[in-house]
Amino acid sequence: MQNTKHLLTSLTFVGLLALAGCSFPGVYKIDIQQGNVVTQDMIDQLRPGMTRRQVRFIMGNPLLVDTFHANRWDYLYSLQPGGGERQQERMSVLFNGNDQLVGLSGDFMPGVSKDQAILGSDTDTNVAPQQGEPQKAEEPPKPGSMLEDIQRDVDGVKTVPVPAPQPLDVSPQ
């Protein structure tokens, strides 16, 4: 009787330990993002001949700068949705000897962004006059009005050069 009770307690304890290692259904698993987020809009801003500083401004710091390939920057991004399969995107930016952008390789290529594909290309925010609608010429301000005074002040502004700061004297006294 004592052995059976001891055996039953042991099996219960081992079963609880085994069950604790399993994932229960309905438990939330977080999305894991790693690397540089690169969008199609970022790629569309890149132009041949850009300097490294300009590319870094648009794309951010590269994830990998290979010492054996100093003219190549690699941007990697991976996303693993909670409980899902990992997705990875890679983008390499190539420079010439003058530190100017010469090429791209990877999962993104210049073209239509996903936003433009969804919204269409006719989502221009610039307001253009309708065809056949004559444009009105800007009317001059009335004499003696405040607008005339402001315009006269603006037109009469003379540019003044900004003084350059003098270098500090670093010689020992």
- Span 18-31, pLDDT tens digits: 666 665 666 778 88
pLDDT band at 100 (very low <50, low <70, confident <90, very high): very high
Which residue segments constitute the domains of the chain, with CATH numbers given? 31-105 (3.30.1450.10)
DSSP string, 82-145: TTS--EEEEEEEEE-TTSBEEEEEES--SS--HHHHHH-TT------PPTT-PPPPPPPPPTTS
Residues 126-148 have pLDDT tens digits of 445 555 556 666 777 788 888 88
* Total-model pTM: 0.50
